[in-house]
Amino acid sequence: MTSTDHDHNQHEDLVGGPFAVIESDPGVFTSLTRKIGVRDIELVEMYDIEPWATDHLSPHGLIFCFLWRKDVHRPADFNDPAAERVWFANQLSDDACASHAILNVLLNCPEINVGDDLRKFRTDTEKMSPVMKGLAIANSPLLRKAHNSLARPADIRGALNAIALATLDEAKAKAKVKASPATSSTKRGTKPPPAKRAKTDATGTRSSPSKSQLKAKTKPTTQDEEEAYHFIGYVPAYGKVWELDGLKSGPLEVGELPSPAESSSSSSSARNAWMDVVRPALRMKMEKYGGAAEGGDNIRFSLLAIVDGAYEKASDALQLLRREKGALERRMGEGWESKVDQELFVASHHAFSAASGSKTYAVNFGSQFMDASLRIQNMPEVELIPAWETCVRDAVRANINVEDELSKAIRANTDHIKRTFDYEPFLKMFVERLQAEGLLNPLMGREEDGLKIKSPPRTAKTKG
């Protein structure tokens, strides 16, 4: 590629482009986060908002998808000084509400590793207004390419076609305004044409339209109204829980977080505490936008949680058990092989088959291993063999968990290939070959000239 071609492509990329529709699926959104550089998290679907269904997930944030309806708020609802610290972007691109909602949540979670690109993006845009942040997202090649790489080719073509049609319609509207008689006569200083007089009936009186006619003109039918789904985010930040809707002017406060003294000291318990604050707001949303939180039969929404990656957690657990096993074997000394359960001894050779090298993901993995090593060093000798056997049993289960996550990743990658493969050239060539071989018209029930095959005339039945 020459430097001229490179400059030309770079110029085209700076111009920007549309965001295509992507499938509302947890696997798709997880792939999106990884494509933009976020690590060690995934998105999972939640089927209930009660503590028994959320506490084990310890979500960093929530993504709520619902059938959009206009929601009115007072300007005072957004006049919260604490909201100025929240990273929030308005949605300026059609079909990009999911990406906006995910970014609004991720960039307010300091505990998540968002990667170098997003970290720089957050730093560069943190002083911007919500509208300018939305414009930065719409013109970011990284975000747009990652988003569109998960869309079907037909949807990308549809997004480009929509922009072309909108541009042509705008050009036609401007040309129509310039060429209209009222505009041209006004420019020449003459009076515009008189307004049309109301129709009169047979008696000479003016007839007014009926209420049904006015209603038919003003009120759109249900068939004309298009269903549009929208994504918003919920995240705890700066002592409060926020609702982040890209179509609103700013972050909306849901409630205040409990003080550190009131919540537990563990990070997972602190993360679960904010769910108690957001749960009533979610119930209200679910009841308002089709369906109820409990027993609703018109479910027109879905709820996704941003949680720690299951593969990373399972892999770290397996790595920790492997190192604990080695520390226990060193403590037991020579001849320990004959003292342990022989079935477990055989199983120990395959219990760590899914472990990939020595890579770890958790930031505090080193401290976890140090605690385990100190516990093993201070362990009485009579407890070493039972501890080794317990370690192997746990490793067998952890190994299965890692293999399950790897299988899930393979299935997600297969679905991605099927979703983004362009079948249109094959289908076009297939139809063309059917036509060339003279097989298309018979399959469609038509004659060789393309006309419909006439059914034979029915013969009248005669009474015998």
Q: Along the 464 residues of the chain, how does pLDDT read in single tens digits?
A: 444 444 444 444 445 688 998 888 899 999 999 999 999 999 999 988 888 888 889 999 999 988 877 766 656 566 677 788 999 999 988 888 889 999 999 999 999 999 999 999 999 999 999 999 999 999 999 999 999 999 999 888 888 888 888 889 888 888 888 887 655 544 445 455 555 444 444 444 444 444 444 344 444 444 445 567 889 999 999 999 999 999 888 899 999 988 765 555 555 666 778 999 999 999 888 887 765 544 555 567 789 999 999 999 999 999 999 999 999 999 998 889 888 899 999 999 998 888 777 888 888 899 999 999 999 999 999 999 999 999 999 999 999 999 999 999 999 999 999 989 999 899 999 999 998 888 888 888 877 766 776 666 666 555 54
The DSSP H or E segment spanning 234 is strand 229-237
Q: Is 205 exposed, middle or buried (0-12, 13-18, 19+ CB in 10 A)?
A: exposed
Give 193-201's long-range contacts (Cβ < 8 A, gap of 24+): none
Q: How far apart are CA 105 and CA 242, in angstroms?
A: 9
Which tokens belong to 115? 């990667």
Q: Angle 310-332/365-377 helices, nearest 10 degrees?
A: 30
- Enter the pTM of the model: 0.77
**DSSP letter (8 states) at residue 243:** E
**E strand or H helix at 240, and its extent?**
strand 240-244
DSSP string, 29-86: HHHHHHHTT--SEEEEEES--SHHHHTTT--SEEEEEEE-------GGGG--GGGGGS
Locus of tokens 């013109």: 139
Q: Which helix (H) or strand (E) holds 448?
A: none
Cβ atoms < 10 Å from Cβ of 456: 6
